[in-house]
Amino acid sequence: MVELSKSPEWIGWQLIAWAAIFTPLQIAAVALRFYARWLVVGKKYSLDDYLIIASLVFQLAACGIAVSSVKYGGVGHHILYIYLTDQPKLVVYNRYIISLAFLCGATVNIPKLAVLLLYKRLFGSVRTYRIIIWTFIGILLCMTLGNIISASVSCIPFEANWKYIRGAKCLEQQKWFSYIVIPNIITDVFLLILPLPIVWTLHTSRHVKAGLTVTFLIGSAGLGASILRLVAFVSAGSFIDGTWVSVKLMILAITETGTYLICACLLTYRPILERITKGRKTTTTEGSRYYFSRSHLKQTADSVASPEQSYRSIPLRGFNGGRSGFSELHGEENDMGFGDVESHPGKMGRRRDGEIMVTTEIQNRWSR
């Protein structure tokens, strides 16, 4: 059994410090995402970009609630100390808790939806994957609705969330917060494995497959944050000294959703990395095809395609009727700047709108 302390010890500074560090990181991540997207598609943004903006706004609100709870809700002090010295803060504290529960439950899946929409653009030409992605989008929306409904009925009447009402019925907070994390872990695992079969069946070099695999794995890095949050919530007695342990729990709550947001942005950074390296060295064999992002075309493709055409998408299609694997990436835009696709020696394919095909037997270097 947890022994409550009357000590005036205060650790609220940890939550404030983390919010001060983590908030600029999220803003920077989103800003870099839009810069990377601008390099590829100009000002033509998609639904997933707007979802990222919405997620950032909600994350800023969550960080604001967490920091305010330190000043006005007594978070960082032992609950017994608050009870003995400033009881009204406990009412405010409980209001902050239910507000954060609503906000995190409603917004934790927004970055995942953005990632799925990105996958839809890249893999949408494959019917099976298109069905899987739309199904999973529906599951995430249902999960979000379930989080909101469960938070709404966490106490009946609802006011019992922050004040004592005789005869009120409430869900056990520790179990409720633990259970809503488990679906997040399951969906993270799904996001982790969804693109890998396509990547592994691409007809390209191993180092390109490895690079694409790492890139897509980044999109599921929020899995670690979800696991840490689950462990914290299932710890024995984690809600007995609520105002004290809320420092750690709030840090993990805003970190989980924020990590999803940052990872959804990291997936789009390849054009920035290519610009920083200022060149790419590629060895091809006769008949190899390469499709370049907008940044590649600024100096090398004026005579082949217009800039408007140059940053179209990279199609993902199968060869032999799509039954033997994938050879190219597909999407409305080349969001991630992928280049290497397939090799058919002795064949001269034809160029389609918005694409450049280079057939060569020598080593080339393109620089921007």
pLDDT at position 68: 95
pLDDT mean over 8-25 = 94
Same domain, 252 and 285: no
Residue 326, φ and ψ in degrees, nearest 5: -115, 150
Our count of domains for the chain comes to: 2
Contact predicate 112/260, CB 8 Å: yes
List, for residues 167-185, the tens digit of each pLDDT value: 899 888 778 888 888 888 8
pLDDT at position 363: 41
Question: Does residue 273 lie within any of the structural domains?
Answer: no
pLDDT at position 12: 93
Same domain, 217 and 320: no
Same domain, 86 and 195: yes
* Average pLDDT in the chain: 76
Separate counts of helices (H) and strands (E) for the chain: 15, 6
Distances (CA, A) of 155 to 151, 160, 170, 181, 324: 8, 6, 4, 19, 54
pLDDT at position 280: 52
Asked which of 220, 237, 268 is the last residue of a domain, the reply is 268
Q: Report pTM.
A: 0.73
- pLDDT greater at residue 67 or residue 229: 67
pLDDT at position 66: 93
Identify the domain containing residue 219 by its residue range. Answer: 12-268
- pLDDT greater at residue 134 or residue 270: 134
pLDDT at position 65: 94
pLDDT at position 206: 80
The 8-class DSSP code of residue 337 comes to -
Same domain, 242 and 122: yes
Query: Among the ranges 222-236, 276-290, 344-358, which has the highest mean pLDDT value?
Result: 222-236
Same domain, 307 and 235: no
pLDDT at position 308: 39
pLDDT at position 110: 92
pLDDT at 345 over 70: no
Question: Does residue 3 lie within any of the structural domains?
Answer: no
pLDDT at 3 over 60: yes
CATH code at position 76? 1.20.1070
pLDDT at 287 over 90: no
DSSP letters for 278-331 = T-EEEE--TTEEE---HHHHHHH-TTTS-HHHHTB-----BSTTTTS-B-S---
Same domain, 112 and 260: yes
